[in-house]
């Protein structure tokens, strides 16, 4: 793998030179920052603000989620020559180790979110009724905790100030303003859950929201763990979740973004009333360029998720 990555980098860089368009990490005087997933990219974007001295790139920009992402040779070149690389650091990012060993910028600042948040990292769990077996893997969806987001943003700010000290005050101001918004939204989540009579969610889907539910004491049942590759639920799982809905008198069942909702539909068909509505919580794993161009942001998606929870918890 390492030899393949090294060869890809060499071929692309040489091709760029021959075409008169060699990598311009410093040619345009800009600092290059690369973030793998949308939430992290959006945090950095808000901290950087309107600073034209930084070129920020979202690596996973095609709407594919990190569980199935495979970097292209061009992606590897972007990473190898950037000044700051921010990634999640879980099982889905195993390819990063080889990519970083081939970096051409030896002064690169690397931010691994799971290392940064190591005291808050949770193992994926298999809850009652869920498909699969526990394998001890850590849950990668760390951005779905507003508390994690707050800490990560402060750390990203510090590293940007190291890269670009002349804009230190700008980054500090932007980061504090953004963190204040995260804190306010965190308080709204806390108040919403505290006022709820029933604090249980039913997911007819994968469940990447463990960090969110643990932050606020929300209980949940789901068909699959967050990083599961399974798409077909067994009759046992379907029956368990259907009975759980009947017992709770739940009016809603959840799916995640980019899901066809078929498992949720099957669960509904096996409930007593068969009239539950399917709602979507957005995990921000597959945010598309089109959604970003229309104004999608970490805050807007998190606010939208809060509205969904309010709708469920008011019942």
Overall average pLDDT of the 98-127 stretch: 94
Task: Provide mean pLDDT across the span 39-43.
Answer: 97
Residue 229: pLDDT band with limits 50, 70, 90: low
Is 21 or 94 the better-scoring residue by pLDDT? Answer: 94
- On whether both 18 and 42 belong to a single domain, the answer is yes
Q: Which of 28-42, 73-87, 222-236 is predicted with the least confidence, judged by mean pLDDT?
A: 222-236
36: CATH? 3.40.50.1980
Q: Is the same domain home to 39 and 90?
A: yes
Quick one: which of 144, 135, 75, 134 has its CA closest to 113?
144
Average confidence (pLDDT) over 196-214: 95
Instruction: Out of 184, 218, 235, pick the residue that ends a domain.
Output: 184
Q: Rounded mean pLDDT of 47-72?
A: 88
Q: Rounded mean pLDDT of the chain?
A: 90
Residues 37, 154: one domain? Answer: yes
Higher pLDDT, 29 or 27: 29
Is residue 258, in this structure, part of any structural domain at all? Answer: yes
* Residue 189 domain-assigned (yes or no): no
Nearest to 90 by CA among 208, 221, 175, 212: 208
Q: Which of 63-67, 95-99, 180-184, 255-259 has the highest mean pLDDT?
A: 180-184
Same domain, 286 and 268: yes
Q: Please tell me the distance from the alpha carbon of residue 310 to that of residue 196, in angstroms, as a whole number.
A: 8
In a domain, 128, yes or no: yes
Q: Has residue 121 been placed in a domain? A: yes
Same domain for 150 and 221, yes or no, is no
Is position 204 within any domain?
yes
Alpha-carbon distance of 297 to 67, in angstroms, equals 21
186 pLDDT band (50/70/90 cuts)? very high
162 & 238 share domain: no
Q: Provide DSSP, the chain.
A: -HHHHHHHHHHHHHHHHHTT----TTTTSPEEEEESSHHHHHHHHHHHTT-TTEEEEESS-SS--TTT----HHHHHHHHH-SEEEE--SGGGTHHHHHHHT-S-TT-EEEEHHHHTGGG--B----TT-SS----PBP--GGG-HHHHHHHHHHHHHHHHHH-GGGHHHHHHHHHHHHHHHHHHHHHHHHHHHT-S--EEEEEEEE--HHHHHHHT-EEEEEEETT-------HHHHHHHHHHHHHHT--EEEEETT---HHHHHHHHTSSS--PEEEEE--SSS--HHHHHTT--HHHHHHHHHHHHHHHHT-
72-96: b or e for each residue (b if 16 or more CB lie within 10 Å)? eeebbbbbbbbbbbbbbbbbbbebb
What's residue 14's pLDDT?
41
Asked which of 155, 184, 213 is the last residue of a domain, the reply is 184
Top pLDDT among 228 and 313 is at 313
**Looking at the 3D structure of the chain, how many domains does it have?**
2
User: Of 164, 184, 204, which marks where a domain is finished?
Assistant: 184
Q: Is residue 213 part of a domain?
A: yes
Q: If you average pLDDT over residues 54-74, what whole number do you get?
A: 87
What percent of the chain lies above the pLDDT cut of 90?
78
Are 242 and 288 members of one domain? yes
* For residues 14-31, average pLDDT: 50
Together in a domain, 173 and 201: no
**Do residue 204 and residue 303 come from a single domain?**
yes
Residues spanned by the domain of 254: 194-313
Going by pLDDT thresholds of 50, 70 and 90, the confidence category of residue 27 is low
Question: Is the pLDDT confidence value at 232 over 90?
Answer: no
Residue 2 clears pLDDT 60, i.e. is over it: no
Q: Which residue has the higher pLDDT, 11 or 165?
A: 165
Same domain, 51 and 124: yes
Among 102-116, 192-206, 224-238, 292-306, the minimum mean pLDDT is found in 224-238
Length of the chain: 315
**64 lies in the same domain as 172:** yes
pLDDT for position 24: 40
Q: What is the mean pLDDT of residues 174-185?
A: 98
Q: What is the pTM of this model?
A: 0.90
pLDDT reading at 54 higher than 50: yes
Distance between CA atoms of residues 285 and 36, nearest Å: 11
**pLDDT one-digit tens code per residue, 155-169:** 999 999 999 999 999
Domain assignment of residue 274, yes or no: yes
How much is the average pLDDT of 6-21?
A: 43
Examine the domain organization and report whether 168 and 30 are in the same domain: yes
The yes-or-no verdict on residue 114 having pLDDT over 50 is: yes
């Amino acid at each position: 793998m390492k030899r393949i990555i090294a060869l890809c980098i060499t071929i692309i860089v040489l091709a760029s030179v021959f075409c008169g368009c060699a990598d311009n990490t410093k040619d345009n005087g800009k600092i290059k920052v690369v973030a793998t997933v949308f939430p992290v990219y959006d945090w950095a974007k808000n901290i950087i603000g309107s600073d034209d001295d930084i070129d920020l790139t979202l690596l996973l920009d095609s709407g594919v989620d990190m569980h199935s992402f495979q970097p292209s040779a061009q992606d590897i070149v972007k990473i190898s020559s950037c000044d700051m690389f921010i990634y999640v650091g879980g099982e889905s990012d195993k390819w990063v180790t080889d990519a970083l060993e081939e970096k051409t910028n030896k002064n690169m600042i690397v931010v691994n979110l799971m290392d940064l948040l190591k005291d808050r990292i949770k193992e994926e769990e298999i809850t009652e009724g869920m498909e699969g077996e526990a394998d001890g893997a850590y849950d990668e969806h760390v951005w779905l905790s507003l508390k994690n987001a707050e800490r990560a943003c402060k750390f990203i700010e510090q590293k940007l100030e190291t890269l670009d000290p002349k804009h230190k005050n700008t980054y500090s101001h932007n980061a504090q303003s953004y963190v204040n918004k995260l804190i306010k939204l965190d308080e709204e989540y806390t108040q919403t859950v505290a006022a709820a009579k029933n604090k249980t969610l039913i997911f007819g889907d994968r469940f990447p929201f463990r960090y969110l539910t643990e932050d606020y004491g929300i209980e949940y049942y789901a068909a699959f763990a967050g990083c599961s590759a399974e798409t077909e639920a067994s009759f046992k799982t379907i029956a368990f979740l259907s009975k759980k809905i009947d017992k709770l008198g739940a009016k809603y069942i959840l799916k995640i973004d980019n899901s066809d909702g078929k498992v949720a539909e099957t669960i509904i068909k096996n409930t007593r009333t068969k009239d539950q509505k399917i709602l979507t919580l957005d995990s921000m794993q597959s945010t598309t360029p089109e959604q970003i161009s229309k104004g999608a942001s970490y805050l807007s998606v998190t606010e939208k998720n809060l509205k969904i929870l309010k709708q469920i918890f008011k019942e």
